[in-house]
Amino acid sequence: MTVSIGLSRRDALKMGAAASALPLVHIRTAGAAGKLAFAFWDHWVPGGNDVMKKQVDAWAKQNKVDVTADFITGNNNKLLMTGVAEAQAKTGHDVMTFSTGTASTSRIRSRPWTT
């Protein structure tokens, strides 16, 4: 014996529309986004790190993320070595800035235009 549910086409469309809208709903809680660890280049300008820290804190507060910001010196390729060490260890900062001052030491040489 079969049982009839009594679901009209209109009701089925309403349920389908409601189900497709569910992924669009985002519920924020206190720790919704988790934690992030950033590594920034330690700026040589006095107060430069303070400005970056304020920007990171404002972003973290707006997005409800617990952010740790570390400022690593560029002396003796410390930023580059930190990135390599963390890559080998497969742990460390989530986001790192690019190392600075490597453009002048690259092997790319400019060639004069020839005709």
- The rounded distance, in Å, linking the Cα atoms of 48 and 42 is 8
pLDDT confidence of residue 19: 67
Nearest to 92 by CA among 83, 103, 100: 83
What does the pLDDT look like over 48-103, one tens digit per residue? 899 999 999 999 999 888 999 999 887 888 888 888 888 888 888 888 877 555 55
pLDDT confidence of residue 74: 78
What does the pLDDT look like over 101-111, one tens digit per residue? 555 554 545 55
Tokens standing for 49?
Answer: 């790190």
The predicted model scores a pTM of 0.56
pLDDT confidence of residue 53: 92
* Residue 24 DSSP class: G
Q: How far is CA 94 from CA 47, 67, 69, 101, 112, in A?
A: 24, 10, 10, 22, 41
Task: Sketch the domain layout of the chain as residue ranges.
Answer: 31-96
- Residue 34 pLDDT class (50, 70, 90 cuts): confident
The SS3 of residue 58 is helix
pLDDT confidence of residue 2: 60
- The rounded distance, in Å, linking the Cα atoms of 7 and 12 is 7
pLDDT confidence of residue 55: 93
Nearest to 67 by CA among 82, 55, 81, 57: 57
